[in-house]
Amino acid sequence: MPLTATGNGLPGNLVNSVTTTSKNHLAVATDEGIALGRYAEQSAMFSGGAMPRALNMHLVFEHGQNFVAKVHGLWHPPKHWTAPSGQVLSRLPTEDHTTAVAWEPDKAAGGKAGYLWLGHWRTGLDIWQYDVEGKIINRWHIHRPHRQGYVEYLLDPWFVNHSLKGDDPQVGNYIQCLQPLQGGAMAVGCYGAGIRIITLPGQSRTAWRTAAKSNTQLAASHVHEPHGARPPSEKELAAAIPALDQGTAEASQIHFPWAAPLRTDWATQGDWVARYGREFAVLCTAHYPFDYHVVSRSYLDWASGMIGPHHAARDSVREWQTYADTENRRSLYVPELGHRRQTCWDDHGEAYPPSFQGPDIWVQVRLLEAGLFRVSFYLYNVDGHASANRQRDWPVEVYAVGAHHRQSLTIPPLADRTCPNNAAALRWMDWALSTPPLAACRIGSTSNPAYIRFAVAGPGQYMFRIDRNASLNAELSGAFVDRADAARTAFDNRAMTGFGGVDYCPPKLPKGYTKKAPEILTVWNAAKHSFGPSGILMRETVHLMCYRYALAHDMPPALLARMRWRLDIWTHQDRLRFDKMMNRGFWAYLKGWKGLRQFLVKGHEWAANAGRLGHG
């Protein structure tokens, strides 16, 4: 984080929104402030006669007024650092974390002047008025208490004592998005507080009343969806094969340390079984207060979690259970219980101010075998629909651990889950927090769960950081390790641990399927192992193109089902099959439990399952 109130470049690399202002000007909203710049268009000649435009850009940034507290909250705050004066701070945006930015031109000035709207995470709206020379001549701020789930179409300018609908005018302090409307109004989307229509100062009421009326009519009318994109042709699919083959060849040369982000999975939700963690999985706190583990092979030594080095005395990862039994499909299914539980690790960030750096959740994964692996983390902001729980924004970063630091970062069994307090471990943490990660991904402010996934090379040890990032806290529901699209082994053809011999695996392909789909299978297989630089960015897209081609050409249903399994696409029938197989596996597990009858006879507590899966 830059330690000056203003400077050149971007204040942070987590970009939330981008917009153009007056001609050739750009505004970039990040989690560390706002960047403004001017770009000049240049022509560049490329092969084939194409003339794309190249941009020569210079950006300057402004932190928010809370950046001083963030500097003081660093693990190692700079010595002899002087904070900006109050006069300087008063001219900055009200908050670092800028979620949305929009430009409203002033038509009277020919669009050369106007208003820049900045939406923030916690402090509402800033509005800056620019003149024709690009100078700020006025600044305003709108900050009102949050009101849950309230939607109104019209607000009186600057919140005088009434609004057109006669309701108490409120605006959510957590701004999600901004959109200029006709008549000089701005549509403000608030997380958990609906939509607000706000007007600029000095504009006539007639203009924004007319705009609001037209917007109301538009919202009530039927909007036709655009036609779907056409499926790819065989020629388009075949054109990707050379780059994919090169990516497969490059993958054989990848060695530790190496990591790359994979596509985030938003669809699988809590139905992880067999798709994730077939050889290693930890469901955080699922056997409250202990974890649920699947450990089936020897290529992985262990995966364990801890909080980072910056924390209060005797603090540690907290084991948290929200629901011991739930039917919410977003919660992870626990095979040995026969139902779902909503549990997680918590870095206890709620006990620290938002400006505090950390504690964060760190997960160490030690791979014992060579090859490429997929490491996945299930992140679910289960209560993120209201209050301070909405402020959760979790970047996930990957760092390599050298052989000389592995032992120092190891947590002894049954010890507190906190960063070891030895000199070598602290030196490594200091290095990691000051160096760019091997790879990074992010799940922003949302209550929808997702699997954040990375491809990594073994053998070696990695540390994954779930960054609190000024959120209420950092949480982790599950961690999973698999081979990265490797060929199925004898182990893969056996049932998973804890399923009583019942195997849940992708649908088997019909006989003769290769004659019906030779073209797309060639492309599919070319993309499967293409993890090198030439293929890693396109392999997932090519797989999706193959699936769309198969749909358009009526390929066998079993082939489509296998493709959906690989692409994390779920139909209603896929969910029904999952539930059926989980029931079979749970009852087979109970029948194989030799001590079950004695357990029940002795009168131990046996809580009936309220869920619909295992009915345990």
* Residue at token pair 């971007």: 10
pLDDT at 608: 39
pLDDT 10s digits, 501-553: 788 888 887 676 666 667 788 899 999 999 999 999 899 999 999 999 999 98
> What angle is formed at CA 415 by the lines to CA 411 and CA 417, rounded to 5 degrees?
70
Q: How far apart are CA 611 and CA 232, in angstroms?
A: 42
User: 140 pairs with which residues across the strands?
Assistant: 127
Q: How far apart are CA 196 and CA 226, in angstroms?
A: 27
CA atoms within 13 A on the CB side of 596: 10
pLDDT at 165: 31
Alpha helices in 114-229 (DSSP H): 205-220
pLDDT at 590: 83
At residue 81, does pLDDT exceed 50? yes
pLDDT at 598: 59
| Three-class secondary structure of residue 281 per DSSP | strand
Structure tokens of 25?
């000007």
Q: How far apart are CA 460 and CA 467, in angstroms?
A: 22
Q: How far apart are CA 122 and CA 175, in angstroms?
A: 8
pLDDT at 486: 62
pTM: 0.84
Task: Between 307 and 163, name the one with better pLDDT.
Answer: 307
Mean pLDDT of the chain: 80
pLDDT at 453: 96
Q: How far apart are CA 89 and CA 196, in angstroms?
A: 28
315 to each of 153, 308, 310, how far by Cα in Å? 47, 10, 10
Q: How far is CA 519 from the centre of its chain?
A: 34
Q: How far apart are CA 204 and CA 189, in angstroms?
A: 23
Structure tokens of 452?
């954040």
Q: Length of the chain, please? A: 616
At residue 136, does pLDDT exceed 80? yes
Helices (H) and strands (E) in the chain, counts: 13, 25
- Local confidence band at 301 (pLDDT 50, 70, 90 cut-offs): low
pLDDT at 122: 84
Average pLDDT over residues 96-124: 84
pLDDT 10s digits, 474-498: 999 999 998 887 655 555 666 676 6
At residue 329, does pLDDT exceed 60? yes
Q: How far apart are CA 102 and CA 42, in angstroms?
A: 26
Task: Between 465 and 335, name the one with better pLDDT.
Answer: 465
Average pLDDT over residues 467-471: 93
- Local confidence band at 168 (pLDDT 50, 70, 90 cut-offs): very low
Q: How far apart are CA 532 and CA 529, in angstroms?
A: 9
- Per-position b or e across 541-567, b if 16+ CB within 10 A of its CB: ebbbbbbbbbeeeebbeebbbbbbbbb
pLDDT at 490: 56
Contact (CB, 8 A) for 90 and 80: no
The gap between the terminal CA atoms of the chain, to the nearest Å, is 51
Q: How far apart are CA 609 and CA 616, in angstroms?
A: 5
Average pLDDT over residues 591-596: 70
- Per-position b or e across 411-437, b if 16+ CB within 10 A of its CB: beeeeebbbbeeeebeebbeebbeeeb
pLDDT 10s digits, 37-66: 876 655 444 334 444 444 566 889 999 999
pLDDT 10s digits, 386-422: 777 878 889 999 999 998 898 899 887 777 889 999 9
- Local confidence band at 151 (pLDDT 50, 70, 90 cut-offs): very low
Average pLDDT over residues 589-596: 73
- Local confidence band at 174 (pLDDT 50, 70, 90 cut-offs): low
| Three-class secondary structure of residue 375 per DSSP | strand
Q: What are phi and psi of 76, to 5 degrees?
A: -125, 80
pLDDT 10s digits, 205-231: 444 444 444 444 434 344 455 667 788
User: 321 pairs with which residues across the strands?
Assistant: 343
At residue 182, does pLDDT exceed 70? no
At residue 274, does pLDDT exceed 70? yes
Contact (CB, 8 A) for 350 and 302: no
pLDDT at 250: 94
At residue 558, does pLDDT exceed 70? yes
453 to each of 211, 252, 262, 266, how far by Cα in Å? 44, 20, 5, 11
